[in-house]
């Protein structure tokens, strides 16, 4: 069935991203927005826009019936959920379909199977997919689990079956702590996800997170679009992603790709999806979970394959068979994405809110910016603090890294702390450059002093000098001739005004 108008049930960069592909396909778009997003770019970009409620997402972007009514009223024939919000909500997908609309995503059944890490493990068990050693059922008898944990070997990771976004995990270092950590994990899972089911896995101490993009149509065809390396994480959440991975050989790529297709097949998957794997030091890979939506980091895959994943999602939702075959796909060049968050890397990556006083995007060859803001706008406190995704594409990895450093240097953001400086630190780190890094990268190599003192950062060096100068004056009780009074916060105040 041809789709003529799509309501995009999301905000920010991903709403714009979806609308852009729709526009290229001649499809009209309807934006939705909360009262905090009246001026947002996705609202101005869309052909029509509907206000759906007050700022908190529970009263706007998560209001299923309001969204469906808006779609019906505006004559949309489909809803695209983006990522986050209702994108992995099987109930929403079901209600959209019950209203006679097309849900641009997988079936409600696929969403519910893969939304539960335990149901997912059960579904894939017949497909010969490598799994992390562990217990693949909800733990009821803690003493029994404690015996199993000894066999698996410490450290152990306790995971909430319904967890997501890096939440709901606990590491247990030794047997003595097991019972206490288990009880905590269960009550946390119950209160955070409304489901106290937890299970245990071997905690892989130096893992890489590598995931495979898949596309499936409604006729049983499933393809893999290679891997994304997402090991640079803070709080189990990704900040830097790239494709292809520096450590994956063609044989490993094929094995992972075929395993991912098996995972997708196990739940009769259609649409775009991502199968996440954890990879140990010997490069053994294990299935972690499947995300049944477009992923934040999908642009790196688009850059190296030339496939527009949103257009594919739309065509699949219309019922078209995939026009691409596995043998048509190949990797060209290298892409790296960084997430520019309104966060302060010097202060434990805590969210920073405020106004984008200066906001100038990098430009030139091989640069793609997906964002939803303009200079002068406020970053609302109600939603995810991601300002933008900066993706670079180049002929190979060294050129991509150099290009990313150039793009970061061109990116001008003031008024708010961002992860830009941190990402530049990553780009010049020897572990990143060599490809020999794992999910412990941030913990292992990063500390706030790495930002101010990083070589080549002339501004930071000047700031440090000025601070030293200021401290000298403070000690002497004299006013500093060089700095305005409100700037006595040291390098961070300068960083804020970085241009």
Catalytic sites, residue numbers? 293
The CB-of-276 to Mg ion minimum distance in angstroms stands at 5
| Position among 46, 259, 260, 278 found at the interface with ligand ADP (CB under 6 A) | 278
157 binds, among Mg ion, ligand ADP, none (CB under 5 to 8 A by kind): ligand ADP
Separation between Cα atoms, residue 231 and residue 437, nearest integer Å: 8
Site membership for ligand ADP, residue 147 (CB under 6 A): no
Site membership for ligand ADP, residue 273 (CB under 6 A): no
256 binds, among Mg ion, ligand ADP, none (CB under 5 to 8 A by kind): none
| Position among 10, 60, 116, 233 found at the interface with ligand ADP (CB under 6 A) | 233
**Per DSSP, what are the bridge partners of residue 212?**
227, 275
3-state SS of the chain is: CCCCEEEECCCHHHHHHHHHHHHHCCCEEEEEEEHHHCCCHHHHHCCEEEEEECCCHHHCCCCHHHHHHHHHHCCCCEEECCCCCCCCCHHHHHHHHHCCCEECCCCHHHHHHHHCHHHHHHHHHHHCCCECCECCCCCCCHHHHHHHHHHHCCCEEEEEEEEECCEEEEEECCHHHHHHHHHHHHHHHHHHHCCCCEEEEECCCCCEEEEEEEEECCCCCEEEEEEEEEEEEECCEEEEEEECCCCCCHHHHHHHHHHHHHHHHHCCCCEEEEEEEEECCCCCEEEEEEECCCCCCHHHHHHHHCCCHHHHHHHHHCCCCCCCCHHHCCCCCEEEEEEEECEEHHHCCEECCEECCEEECCCCCCEEEEECCCCCCEECCCCCCEEEEEEEEECCHHHHHHHHHHHHHHCEEECCCCCHHHHHHHHHCHHHHHCCCCCCHHHHHCCCHHHHCCCCCHHHHHHHHHHHHHHHHHHHCCCCCCCCHHHCCCHHHHHHCCC
Site membership for ligand ADP, residue 133 (CB under 6 A): no
Site membership for ligand ADP, residue 96 (CB under 6 A): no
The CB-of-14 to ligand ADP minimum distance in angstroms stands at 8
Separation between Cα atoms, residue 44 and residue 375, nearest integer Å: 15
Residue nearest ligand ADP, CB atom distance: 84
166 binds, among Mg ion, ligand ADP, none (CB under 5 to 8 A by kind): ligand ADP
| Position among 101, 132, 310, 356 found at the interface with ligand ADP (CB under 6 A) | 132
In the complex with ligand ADP, the residue whose CB is nearer, 28 or 293, is: 293
Q: Interaction with ligand ADP in 236-255: which residues (CB under 6 A)? A: 236-238
Token pair for 64: 């299923």
In the complex with Mg ion, the residue whose CB is nearer, 135 or 290, is: 290
Site membership for ligand ADP, residue 59 (CB under 6 A): no
Token pair for 192: 């955070």
The residue behind tokens 């097991």 is 178
- CA 265, chain centre distance (Å): 24
Site membership for ligand ADP, residue 112 (CB under 6 A): no
242 binds, among ligand ADP, Mg ion, none (CB under 5 to 8 A by kind): none
**Per DSSP, what are the bridge partners of residue 53?**
34
The CB-of-360 to Mg ion minimum distance in angstroms stands at 33
Residues 296-325: x/- map of binding to ligand ADP (CB under 6 A)? xx----------------------------
In the complex with ligand ADP, the residue whose CB is nearer, 292 or 467, is: 292
In the complex with ligand ADP, the residue whose CB is nearer, 132 or 322, is: 132
The CB-of-485 to ligand ADP minimum distance in angstroms stands at 36
Site membership for ligand ADP, residue 229 (CB under 6 A): no
Site membership for ligand ADP, residue 467 (CB under 6 A): no
The residue behind tokens 């941190």 is 422
Angstrom distances, CA of residue 498 to CA of 63, 227, 320, 462, 471: 39, 35, 49, 12, 21
Separation between Cα atoms, residue 426 and residue 444, nearest integer Å: 12
| Position among 165, 220, 321, 364 found at the interface with ligand ADP (CB under 6 A) | 165
165 binds, among ligand ADP, Mg ion, none (CB under 5 to 8 A by kind): ligand ADP
Q: Interaction with Mg ion in 225-284: which residues (CB under 5 A)? A: 276
297 binds, among Mg ion, ligand ADP, none (CB under 5 to 8 A by kind): ligand ADP
The CB-of-415 to ligand ADP minimum distance in angstroms stands at 21
Which of these ranges, 145-153, 161-169, 189-197, 215-223, lies near ligand ADP under the rule CB under 6 A?
161-169
Please tell me the count of residues contacting ligand ADP according to CB under 6 A.
27
Site membership for ligand ADP, residue 17 (CB under 6 A): no
237 binds, among Mg ion, ligand ADP, none (CB under 5 to 8 A by kind): ligand ADP
In the complex with ligand ADP, the residue whose CB is nearer, 99 or 169, is: 169
The residue behind tokens 């950062």 is 457
| Position among 81, 105, 108, 207 found at the interface with ligand ADP (CB under 6 A) | 207
Which residues contact ligand ADP by CB under 6 A? 83-84, 132, 157, 163-166, 201, 203-204, 207, 209, 233, 236-238, 276, 278, 288-289, 291, 295-297, 384, 439
Which residues contact Mg ion by CB under 5 A? 276
């Amino acid at each position: 069935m041809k789709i003529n108008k799509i309501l995009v049930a999301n905000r920010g960069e991903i709403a714009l991203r979806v609308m852009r592909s729709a526009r290229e396909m001649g499809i009209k778009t309807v934006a939705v927005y909360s009262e905090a997003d009246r001026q947002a770019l996705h609202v101005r970009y869309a052909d029509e826009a509907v206000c759906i409620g007050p700022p908190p997402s529970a009263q706007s972007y998560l209001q299923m019936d309001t969204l469906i009514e808006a779609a019906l009223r505006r004559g949309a024939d489909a809803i695209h959920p983006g990522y986050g919000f209702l994108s992995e909500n099987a109930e929403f997908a079901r209600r959209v379909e019950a209203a006679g609309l097309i849900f641009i995503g997988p079936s409600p059944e696929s969403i519910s199977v893969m939304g539960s890490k335990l149901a997912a493990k059960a579904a894939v068990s017949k497909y010969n997919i490598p799994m992390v050693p562990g217990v693949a059922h909800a733990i009821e008898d803690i003493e029994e689990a404690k015996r199993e944990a000894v066999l698996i070997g410490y450290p152990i990771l306790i995971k909430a079956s319904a967890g997501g976004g890096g939440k709901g995990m606990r590491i247990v270092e030794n047997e003595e702590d097991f019972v206490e950590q288990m009880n905590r994990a269960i009550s946390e899972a119950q209160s955070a996800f409304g489901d106290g089911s937890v299970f245990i896995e071997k905690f892989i101490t130096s893992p890489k997170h590598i995931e495979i993009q898949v596309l499936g149509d409604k006729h049983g065809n499933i393809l893999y679009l290679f891997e994304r390396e997402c090991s640079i994480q803070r709080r189990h959440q990704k900040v830097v992603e790239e494709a292809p991975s520096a450590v994956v050989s063609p044989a490993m790529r094929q094995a992972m790709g075929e395993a991912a297709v098996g995972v997708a097949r196990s739940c009769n998957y259609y649409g775009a999806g991502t199968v996440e794997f954890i990879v140990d030091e010997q490069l053994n890979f294990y299935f972690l979970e499947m995300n049944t939506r477009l992923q934040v980091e999908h642009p790196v895959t688009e850059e190296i394959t030339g496939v527009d994943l949103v257009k594919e999602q739309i065509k699949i939702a219309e019922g078209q068979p995939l026009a691409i075959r596995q043998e048509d796909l190949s990797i060209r060049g290298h892409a790296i994405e960084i997430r520019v968050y309104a966060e302060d890397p010097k202060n434990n990556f805590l969210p920073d809110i405020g106004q984008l006083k200066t906001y100038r995007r990098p430009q030139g060859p091989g640069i793609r910016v997906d964002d939803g803001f303009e200079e002068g706008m406020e970053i609302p406190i109600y939603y995810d603090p991601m300002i933008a995704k900066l993706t670079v594409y180049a002929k190979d990895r060294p050129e991509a890294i150099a290009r990313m450093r150039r793009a970061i240097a061109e990116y001008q953001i003031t008024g708010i702390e961002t992860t830009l400086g941190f990402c530049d630190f990553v780009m010049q780190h020897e572990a990143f450059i060599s490809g020999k890094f794992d999910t412990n990268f941030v913990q292992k190599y990063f500390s706030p002093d790495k930002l101010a003192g990083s070589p080549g950062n002339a501004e930071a060096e000047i700031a440090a000098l000025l601070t030293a100068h200021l401290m000298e004056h403070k000690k002497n009780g004299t006013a500093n001739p060089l700095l305005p009074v409100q700037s006595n916060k040291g390098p961070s105040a300068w960083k804020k005004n970085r241009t």
